């Protein structure tokens, strides 16, 4: 396994774990049981990748080819479930420090999945279609979150708060620009994209950056 392949694989596991935690936390606040929490976590952590693989005809999807992904998802959701169980008051009060941690974890997962989507599309030979690369990066990043919110009967957060989708689009455009046009080494494209998406998401959450709505 080359350096970049190892980096991408580690990012995949980090992304699944991070988004799994995000999904589990949302499910816990909806008072789902342990199975429901683990299921929503799996959908959040793996859903974007499944959509990506279907679009790229990469079948069966990666989650069914490597058990490490579902194991990481299950473990991450179990950990957050136990934290919520033993520290119920802290969790239920939505303490600002706890919310910041969850937002940061979710931001890292978003950055990781943006990179994974583009990298997978590149490996399938779509170097000549920059728009498709950006679209796949965005879809991989936000797909799991959309499925999570649908399962929990919520309006998908990408449509309501903190420039969620714009962060992944910005990261995807950066990756494609650096890799295809500036000929930057892929490792640095990956690193800069993850950092960019993460920072944008965190700043948007801190400063409440949102797009305007027709009315409040």
Q: For the segment 113-153, what is each residue's pLDDT rounded down to a tens digit?
A: 999 999 999 999 999 999 999 999 999 999 999 999 999 99
5 pLDDT above the threshold of 80? yes
- What angle (nearest 5°) sits at the alpha carbon of residue 17, between those of residues 110 and 56? 60
State the pTM of this model. Answer: 0.90
SS3 state of residue 161? coil
98 pLDDT above the threshold of 90? no
Note the pLDDT of residue 62: 86
Find the farthest-apart pair of alpha carbons in the chain and give their distance in angstroms, rounded. Answer: 52
168 pLDDT above the threshold of 80? yes
Lowest mean pLDDT among 17-21, 123-127, 154-158: 154-158
73 pLDDT above the threshold of 80? yes
Helices (H), the chain: 3-29, 34-55, 67-86, 88-92, 96-123, 130-151, 164-176, 186-207
pLDDT tens track for 192-212: 999 999 999 999 888 878 777
Q: How confident is the model at residue 214 (pLDDT cuts 50, 70, 90)?
A: confident
- Mean pLDDT over 178-203 rounds to 93
64 pLDDT above the threshold of 70? yes
13 pLDDT above the threshold of 90? yes
Q: How confident is the model at residue 90 (pLDDT cuts 50, 70, 90)?
A: low
67 pLDDT above the threshold of 70? yes
Tokens representing 76? 């991450």
Note the pLDDT of residue 97: 73
């Amino acid at each position: 396994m080359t350096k970049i392949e190892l980096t991408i694989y580690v990012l995949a596991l980090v992304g699944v774990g991070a988004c799994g935690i995000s999904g589990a936390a949302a499910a816990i606040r909806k008072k789902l049981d342990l199975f429901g929490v683990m299921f929503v976590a799996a959908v959040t952590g793996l859903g974007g990748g499944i959509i990506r693989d279907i679009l790229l005809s990469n079948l069966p999807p990666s989650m069914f080819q490597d058990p490490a992904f579902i194991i990481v998802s299950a473990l991450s959701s179990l950990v957050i479930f136990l934290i919520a169980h033993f520290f119920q008051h802290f969790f239920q009060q939505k303490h600002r420090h706890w919310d910041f941690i969850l937002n940061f974890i979710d931001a890292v997962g978003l950055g990781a999945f943006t990179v994974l989507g583009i990298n997978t599309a590149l490996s399938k030979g779509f170097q000549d279609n920059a728009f498709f690369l950006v679209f796949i990066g965005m879809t991989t990043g936000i797909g799991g979150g959309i499925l999570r919110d649908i399962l929990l009967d919520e309006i998908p957060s990408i449509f309501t708060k903190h420039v969620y989708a714009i962060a992944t689009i910005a990261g995807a455009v950066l990756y494609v620009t650096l890799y295809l046009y500036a000929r930057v080494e892929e490792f640095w494209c990956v690193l800069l994209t993850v950092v960019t998406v993460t920072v944008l998401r965190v700043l948007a959450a801190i400063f409440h950056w949102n797009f305007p709505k027709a009315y409040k």
